[in-house]
Structure 1
Amino acid sequence: MRRQTIKKSVSGFVVVVALLAVGVAAGLWWERSQAPGDGMETSADAAPGGPAVLYWYDPMYPAQKFDKPGKSPFMDMELVPKYADEGGNDASVRISPGVSQNLGLRLATVTRAPLATDVTATGVVGFNERDVAIVQARSGGYVERVARLAPNDVIGSGAFIAELLVPEWAALQEEYLALKALGDPALEEAARARMRLGGMPESLIREVAASGRIRNRIAITAPRGGVIQSLDVRPGMTLMAGQTLARINGIGTVWLDVAVPESQADAVRVGQTAEAAFAAFPGKPVQGRVTALLPALDDAARALRVRVELPNPDGRLRPGLSARVSLTGSSGESALRVPTEAVIRTGRRALVIVAEDEGRYRPVEVILGPESGNDTVILSGLEEGQSIVASGQFLIDSEASLQGIVARGSESAAAMPAPVALHEADVVIDEVSEAYVTLSHGPFKTLSMPGMTMEFPLARPELAKGLKAGDRVRAGVRETDDGLVVEKLDKTGGAQ
């Protein structure tokens, strides 16, 4: 009895499954028979009252739009529809307040403020080349005695250097004393003039006149205090008139040679206030000012050399010390500013995410100016008072890319394209075609790239016109997200 009951239950279950299969098949047949064409509904066939499809796109290449569904030409996948209600327009992303809070989005406001020219750089202390004294022999003679000095010694003003014997002075002094004894003021003054022309200092002439004795030895002293940079006098030497005995550099003030990055060179002005902080003297910054902008840039560091003059009354600042320098000032002009952290730099352009009403966010391409403290100046693309995303903007930018949203700038931004920086070097062409060129190039100094032989893609086929292997040209390359691209091959500018 039990076996018969189980057998009946199993046979009943099989009958139920069979009936369900027949019902599903019948339903599918009926649905296909009622559907137009082949019965396959595409994403373009929106339901009545449903959202309209704006275009189709490949999520891996969202910038490319298609007007029909189908397979992506880039990837082996179906194109995805972009509906009209997915953001109100095709240039913004909509995020609910709850999601915004979870993402940690933080907003900031585009402000307008005076443009501060604050620059932080490093510098090295050097001598003040304007504070130099050259000690020379005014008359030929012999060195009888020299002080125990050596180069790099620090001496004070009036310090003894050497004693000279000048035989010619004896005859001039005897003539002066004889004419003085005659009591003729005119002759006496003429004799004084001859002694001056003979190289005697005024102090020695007064001493001879007062004592009435011959003084043909003179002590050479330092005209100012400082560091002895050179000392070319030894006992027993014979000196010629005008021969240099020593070179003394004062240390009352020093120069700070500051390397300002090329990108901030326009923010430095003569007369700016400078504050130098030395590791050797923590907590004791020294105030100075910019006295000169040197005409040549440092090729290796691509930096503008700026001269800052610092007071050094106690002589503790010695050449060779390094310092961190803050150059402060203001151009007097106002400019739009946003927090630097709000800017998305892609390599070829800069983006800012603008926050709009109803939780919509729109990427905007902007043109950047210099940095000022924690802010970056915006030359074009934004307006004062706009709200922007200062934290979490990279997530929104990624979502915009997935939805195929392309950032657009304002009309002024379109009229002011960012300048293309070309890095140039002298090269020799090894191979050339319409698409690529192989170059044996010298160093690209602005890229810190040494000389080598490598292949570059050409930006335009016409660049290769008229060129052949062995030609010497001046090449200009541009940095892109995919590497270096040749933008210029100037045959007339090549090395001869």
Structure 2
Amino acid sequence: MNVVQRVLSVACLIGLGGLGGYWLARGPQPVDQGSQPKDEPKVLYWYDPMVPQQKFDKPGKSPFMEMELVPRYADGAAEPATVQIDPGMTQNIGLRLATVTRGPWVSSLDAAGVLAFNERDVAQIQARTAGFVERVYARAPDDVLKAGAPLADILVPEWAAAQEEFLALKRMGDAGLLAAARQRLRLTGMPRDLIAQVERSGKVQLTQTLTTPIAGTLQTLNVRAGMTLAAGETLARINGLATVWLMVAVPEAVAGSIRLGQTVEARLATVPDAVLQGTISAILPQTNADSRTLSVRVELPNPDGRLRPGLTAQVRLNSGAGQNVLQVPSEALIRTGKRVLVMLAEGGGRYRPVEVQAGVENAGQTVVLKGLQEGQQVVTSGQFLLDSEASLKGIVAQPAETAGGQP
């Protein structure tokens, strides 16, 4: 064996030894598992975390945000059904909870009102017969007058003949004829007090002094000295101030809760030390088309005359205790424009969005008609952060019909 053959033999032995050492170092190899696929959860659909309501039947990029679609598995392995927050972190992110309670609903409504004249307390002064205005007293519209205040002296020539006949019959002493003559004076328009004055004095009285029949504001005065008056002509109008109307503008959205007899509290800037009490006496049938409000009328006593028409008032309408209803703090509601959500706390730092049907709101509380049950807890602070996290995870709020019991 030559030198070349010896060198090749040694090289082969060294190569075989290296292969044996490598095999011993690796040890026994596991059986090939390629024929046994792993059990993976079934994919129900793919979705965009930013638009979780839209579902896709195959993976790819979202047509909304150009993001990769995320699979939703049958066993929920991809995304949990709730938002998980470490209980130790709830205080750091400012989460606060409130309990859903059931109790009597006591509602009140704050609104604005304006004082107005009581249109039922009005007196019209008219000329009962033709005559002439001899004198007008120093009166002007908007004067506040007492009952019996003089306005003008009216000369009535037509009364002369009737009064002379009456006085002649009185001197005759015929009681029957005297009664008939007295009735004739009444038919000519003479007031009872003027007839009594003629009978008492025995003299003809052709001048009548017009006076205010009630106390109040002189709204119109159509009398001037030297005027000729026709029978039935309106000379003045008096509006009483013993009571005033408070006209309250109620938004049409809550007009259905207004009832006759409902108690009202009013506060005026001119009377800051008093709270005026009244009840709703009328609900006007017409709605203001510009402000979309309904007017209600409250009658208030005004014994000292401090309530003047035109003054504005802050009004609170109280409806009293109503039926027992579910209530939550209004700040817990998330209004999206299409629906109303709350973040329901399920314990252990888990939260999920729930759709609710909200009712009326008052004093920071809102009635819940559907979606929640008494004793559950909802998030009142930090709920928008949790809602954003739920949207990113594709957690869809349950409908109000299935989320909880009705009140």
Match of 1:75 in 2: 65
Per the TM alignment, residue 342 of structure 1 is displaced from its structure 2 partner at its CA by: 0.9
Q: Which amino acid aligns with 1:122?
A: A
Unaligned runs of 5+ in 2: 1-31
User: 2:394 aligned to 400, 404, 407, which one?
Assistant: 404
User: Deviation per CA, 1:62-114, whole angstroms, max 9, x where unpaired?
Assistant: 222345433223332222345625775x3x32222123222221111222222
Q: TM-score, structure 2 length as denominator? A: 0.84
Residue 117 of structure 1 contacts residue 267 of structure 1 at CA under 8 Å; is this kept in 2? no
Per-residue CA distance 1:141-178 (angstroms, 9 max, x = gap): 11111111111111111111011111111211111111
Distance in 2 (alpha carbons) for counterparts of 1:98 and 1:364: 24
1:357 correspondence with 2:347: yes
1:337 aligns to what? 327
Residue aligning to 2:11: none
Matched, 1:272 2:252: no
Q: How does 1:233-272 map to 2 (within 5 A)?
A: 233-272=223-262
Residue in 1 aligned with 2:55? 65
1:196 alignment partner in structure 2:
186
1-structure distance, mates of 2:240, 2:64: 72
In the TM superposition, residue 385 of structure 1 has moved relative to its aligned partner by 2.2
After the TM superposition, which residues 435-454 of structure 1 pair with which residues of structure 2 at under 5 Å, given as runs? none
- Partners of 2:373 and 2:105 lie apart in 1 by 16
- When residues 178 and 144 of structure 1 are mapped into structure 2, their CA distance, relative to the original with a 3 A threshold, is same
**Aligned counterpart, 1:433:** none
1:157 to 2:157 alignment: no
Q: Deviations over 1:207-243 (max 9, x none)?
A: 2222211112111100111111110001111111111
**Residue in structure 1 matched with residue 102 of structure 2 by the alignment:** 112
CA RMSD of aligned residues (A): 2.6
Matched, 1:98 2:88: yes
- For residue 206 of structure 2, what is the aligned residue in structure 1? 216
Residue 186 of structure 1 corresponds to: 176
Secondary structure of the structure 2 residue equivalent to 1:135: strand
> Contact 1:87–1:360 (CA<8 Å) still a contact in 2?
no
Q: Does 1:147 align with 2:134?
A: no
Q: Which SS does the other structure have where 1:157 is aligned?
A: coil
d(CA) in 1 for partners of 2:355 and 2:341? 5
* Rounded Cα–Cα distance in structure 2 between residues aligned with 1:347 and 1:256: 36
Matched-pair contact (CA < 8 Å) for 1:114–1:330: no
Where do 5+ consecutive residues of structure 1 fail to align? 1-33, 38-45, 417-496
C-alpha separation in 2, matches of 1:413 and 1:214:
92
Q: Does 1:322 align with 2:312?
A: yes
User: Which residue identity does 1:206 align to in structure 2?
Assistant: A
Query: Alignment partner for residue 123 of structure 1, among 107, 113, 118?
Result: 113
Structure 2: how far apart are the matches of 1:86 and 1:358? Answer: 20
From the superposition, tell whether residues 116 and 155 of structure 1 become closer, same or farther in structure 2 (CA, over 3 Å).
Answer: same
With over 3 angstroms needed to count, the CA separation of the structure-2 counterparts of 1:47 and 1:390, relative to structure 1, is: farther
Q: SS of the counterpart of 2:282? A: strand
1:288 shift after superposition: 2.1
Q: Please, which moves more after superposition, 257-266 or 357-366?
A: 357-366
TM-score (norm 1): 0.70
Amino acid across the alignment from 2:202: G
Whether the aligned pair in 2 keeps the contact of 1:367 and 1:413 (CA below 8 Å) is no
Paired letter, 1:145: R
Q: 1:363 to 1:412 in 2, by over 3 A?
A: closer
Q: Which amino acid counterpart does residue 290 of structure 2 have in structure 1?
A: A
Identity of aligned residues (%): 58
Counterpart of 1:204 in structure 2: which amino acid? L
Q: Which residue of 1 aligns with 2:17?
A: none
